[in-house]
Structure formats: C-alpha cells, structure tokens
Chain A
Amino acid sequence: MLRFKHLSYLRQCVVLLLVLLLFAWLSLFTWSIVPVSASQALMAIMAPDDAIIAHHIVLDIRLPRVLIAGLVGACLAVAGAIMQSLTRNPLASPSVLGVNAGAALGMAAVSTVTPWLGFFGISTAAILGGAIAWGIVMLLGTAWRGGNEHGRLVLAGVAVSALCAALMKAMIILHEDQASAVLTWLAGSVAGASWHQWQHFWPIASLSLLGAFLMSPTLNLLNLGDDNARSLGAKLGWTRVICSLLVLVLVGSALSIAGAIAFIGLLVPHMSKALVGQDNRKILPLTAIMGAALVVMADTLSRAIIYPTETPVGAIIALIGAPFFIYMVRTRTA
C-alpha cells in the first residue's frame, strides 16, 4: 500500500484499471452452474460462437452483469466524492445524507402503487425521491451556509432516512403482493442485470460521470470555503445546482438498477483521497475506477459465499465496508 502511494498518479490509475479488468474477467467465469473456463470467458467476447453454451452464459448473463456492477460502483463512488466537496463534510455520502432512503421510498411508492410505469418510472421515482429527501436534509442541516456544522447535517440525514424507511415499510405492508420485489431491491443486487437495463443505464451514467469530471476544478474551489471560492471567481449558486443534479442522476440511476447499495459513496472517496490528496481532478477518476472494482469484486464474492445461492451484493459491500471504515476513522484520528 505504501509503495503504491508513491507511484505517479497515472501509474496508480493504470494499476487500478488492470485490477478492475482482472476482477471483471474473474467475474465472467467463476462460480457458474454451467462450467465456464477462463479462456472461454475471453473467447466469448472476442470470437463468440453460438454453438457453445458457455459463450451464451458469458455474453447474455455475465457480461451485462459485470458492466452494470462496475458502472453502478463508479456512479455511487463519484456521487459520494461530489457530495463531500459540496457540503465540505467528510461524512457526506448518498446513504448518510438520505438520498438512498429517499430513492428507496420513491421506488417503493412507484412499484407498490403504480407498478405499470416500468423501468423509466422507477428510475424517475428514485431520482425524485432522492432529490426530495436530500433537499430536506440540506435544509434541516443548514448545509448551504457552509460546512461548519458537520454533526447537524448528518443528524438530519439520519432522521430523514429513518422517516423514509418507516414510510416505505408502511407501503410494503399495505401492498403485500409487491413486497418481495421491494425487499430484493432493498438488499441491493445486480443479479437481474440484462442488456436491456444496460442500454438505458450507460448513456445517462457515463454522461453524468463526464459532467462530474468536468466540474472537478470548481469543486476544488469549494473546499476553500464560500468566501474564498467566490473571491476566486467561482459561481457558487450554479456550481451547487449542477453538482446536486449530477449527484441525483448518478445515485438515482444506479440505485434504480442495483438497489440500495450503501458504503460505496462513503468509503471509496476516502480511499482515493488517502492516495492522491484533496485534488478532485485526481480524486474523481480514481474514485470511479475503485468504485467499479469494488462492486465487481463484491458481486463475484456474492455468488461465491453460499454457492450456488446468491447473497445480495449490498450485504457483501457492507460486510467489507463497515470494518474498513472503522479502521479508517481510527487511523485518521490517531
């Protein structure tokens, strides 16, 4: 880890990209009920053959799943990094500030009350729900006035999350027939990934990621405090609106596909800050790669743990994330 920290930024990115590709490749062939070999996984992509079942499994089931898992990880991680700069609060992340819970409530509302709306309805509901919950948290936490009151913002996030969770439970109880779909979603899983989902997901997600990278120099100025940022010529109002929208689209679209995956947005930005410092121009790309690698790895593990039954990937990430986060908090304060 120490040696890795002293590599140049470009090399760090390359190494992590290779790690991501390695995880992705492993994910294509491991723990499959129909045996797939490591070379078949590569051949299926480079020279697909209709006659080989393994190729079908790789191309139709595994590949979209890996792609979606990676992109979901990248979106959530980058969203967390943006939120931390935006609120100047190191604890800010989609799950802590109520975006996850709000999106979950929105999804639950749509899938229990109006299930005929389909995928687009669900992701819109997730984005709207997340937006409303986050807006309330920011107002209660008086976050727009500067990052002095870290505790207040987090408390508001916890309170709003609890309220959303309670409302969602009420909805599930009232519409029991839809309960299992919502519960699966709540656990967080990419097991149902399909090319259809990917087609809807990747254009929105990659555009938002690109937008986030373009905002990174301005996000750096926000770290200096409102007065300094303004004095340096940053347009604070616009920056906040654009960044908030980016966060909502990133989180909403990722959650509507993969369900409630927590910890990525909190954990991964801190991992990349430990490597490259506080420069968002470096943090965001690294965060995207690491977030993708982490979710792809967790998804592979989610199939391995009680093979052949699948464990929700959200649970795996929480299992890895919670101890790691405690370790990080302890080493930071020490």
Chain B
Amino acid sequence: MSLSTHDLSVGYHDKAIVKQVNLSIPDGKFIALLGPNGCGKSTLLKAIARILTPLSGQVHWHGENLHKIPSNQLAKSLALLPQTQPIPEGIKVFDLIAYGRSPYTGFWGRLNTEDKRIIDRVMQETEVTELADQLVSELSGGQRQRVWLAMTLAQDTPYLLLDEPTTYMDLSHQVELMHLLRKLNQQGKTIITVLHDINQAARYCDHLIVMKEGEIITQGSPDSVLTRDMLKTVFSLNAQIHQDPIAKTPMCVVE
C-alpha cells in the first residue's frame, strides 16, 4: 500500500466534498472510482494527485505526507489525466506529448534518446503517431483526449490517475482505451480511474471503489461490490445483476 489517505477531507472554500476518507489504494490493481455526480470522486482523485490541498487529513505516499515530497520527484511516480483539458493554441501533438517528459528532462527540457523512445512508444500505444505534426487545437475531441492521455503516459509513472478518460471518445476508442489500460496494468502500473459506466468498470477493472456524498460506501472486487442493494442505495436505481456472457463479469441491467 504505497498510497493511502488518512481522515482526508477535501473541498473548496471550507466546504468539504470528500469527508474524512480513510482509503488504502491496493498496489498493482486496476481500480475504478464510481459514484453519482457530485459524490466527490474527482475531488478525491485530485487530492491523491496533490492537485488539491486537503482541508484536513493527509494523503500518504510510502508513509510520507504527499505534500512534503518534492513535486518533481512525485511527478515521476504519479501522473494525472484531468477531466477537462484546455485547448492549447499553436502546440503540435508531438510537442505536447513531449511535455510529459518534463519531470525527467532537467531544467531546459531537452529530449534525449530515451525520452524520444518513450514518446514514440506511447504515441503508438495511443495510436496518435500519424498525428505527430498536427496542431492539438485542430484535432477532434476524441483524438485530443488520446493525445492528452499519451502525454500522461509519457510521464512513465508507476501510478496512473485518470478522471473520466473515456469522455469524448466513441465506443470503439473507449474499448481500445480500456484494453490499453488493462495491458498497462498487467505490465505493473497501478491505475485509478473515475468512470461513469458501471458495466465498463466491472468488466475491465479488478477493484471498484464506490462513493456517495463524499464518503466511501464499499470497495472490493466487481463481484462483491456490484449488487442490487448497492445500486439501490448509491444510485437509487432498481437494477438486476446478470453475468456478462463474454467476460463472465457482473453486469447491471436497469429495470
């Protein structure tokens, strides 16, 4: 458990959105953060990525307070793909992805052969190689999302935090993304992703964390978490749980 939270409260203007959360992130898992809109899952993710400073409590990284660790060192361990991204003007795809290497490149940001090799690799993984010389601002929403993901992957961190990465993507790219994330997870990365699609989460992730009103309701394997009761209490939905005929994972069908 390299990453854990202790009585963590996070919010804006003293109003706690995440309330006193104690959570240990299991290493090496592909984790989905689920919950209704406004339940605090993005806020929790941002606090773990030290984008937001806690109102109280702490996030620990290998037993140390996250906010006491030099930011450049942490940038080699944790990478975040935020939910909303700016549309940068006049930046080419390759140059944007190259910024993902900035924790490694030293002060002036000059790329060495190792950096270039990693950039090439993540561009292939996210299938943006042929877009390299295009301007980010001229891409479609789905292409742009893959480029930002490539930048995050170029950071080459053991922990990957993603906030609704499938937004803006068509279904086939969503499936490809989930396959890519599972592959990265099997290669040893711990992945924590906020997802809206419960069935997608149950199918690809091996650990689900469910939140409601700033608190963690339940967590565990998809089989143990995805129950009729949970859907009723957390999402106010009447749903049946069936087995996915292909992946043999649980699947909810709304009544």
Residues of A within 8 A of B (CB): 88, 90, 147, 217, 220-221, 223-228, 230-235, 273, 277-279, 281
Contact = CB atoms under 8 A, between A and B. Distances in A.
Contact of A233 (B75, B88, B108, B148): B75
In the complex, the 7 A-B pairs of residues with the closest C-beta atoms, listed nearest first? A233-B75, A227-B82, A231-B80, A278-B90, A233-B72, A225-B86, A233-B103
A269 to B, nearest CB: 12
Given A225-B82, A232-B75, 9 more contacts: A217-B108, A220-B109, A223-B88, A228-B80, A230-B49, A231-B155, A233-B72, A233-B75, A273-B90
Contacts of A273: 90
A278 B88 contact: yes
A223 B91 contact: yes
A278 B91 contact: yes
B74 A233 contact: yes
B102 to A, nearest CB: 5
B173 interface: no
Contact of B95 (A232, A233, A279): A279
B82 A278 contact: no
A230 B51 contact: yes
B99 A224 contact: yes
Say whether chain A's binding surface is mostly helix, strand, loop, or mixed.
loop
B214 interface: no
B191 interface: no
A49 B80 CA distance: 66
Interface in B76-99: 76, 78-80, 82, 85-86, 88-92, 95-96, 99
A217, A223, A232, A273 pick with most chain B CB within 10 angstroms: A232
Given A231-B75, A231-B80, A234-B71, A225 B102 contact: no
B92 A277 contact: yes
A90 B137 CA distance: 15
Given A224-B99, A225-B82, A230 B71 contact: yes
B144 interface: no
B46 interface: yes
Nearest to B157: A231
Contacts of A232: 75, 99-100, 102-103, 155
Which of B95, B102, B155 is most buried by chain A, counting CB atoms within 10 A of its CB?
B102
A220 B74 CA distance: 19
Interface in B158-208: none
Contacts of A217: 102, 107-109
B121 interface: no
Contacts of B80: 227-228, 231
A279 to B, nearest CB: 7
Nearest to A274: B90
A182 B86 CA distance: 43
B99 A220 contact: yes
Contacts of A228: 80, 82, 85, 99, 148, 151
B88 to A, nearest CB: 5
A223 B88 CA distance: 7
A19 to B, nearest CB: 24
9 contacts: A88-B86, A223-B88, A224-B96, A228-B80, A228-B151, A230-B49, A233-B73, A233-B102, A234-B71
Given A227-B80, A230-B51, A231-B49, A221 B90 contact: no
Contacts of B151: 228
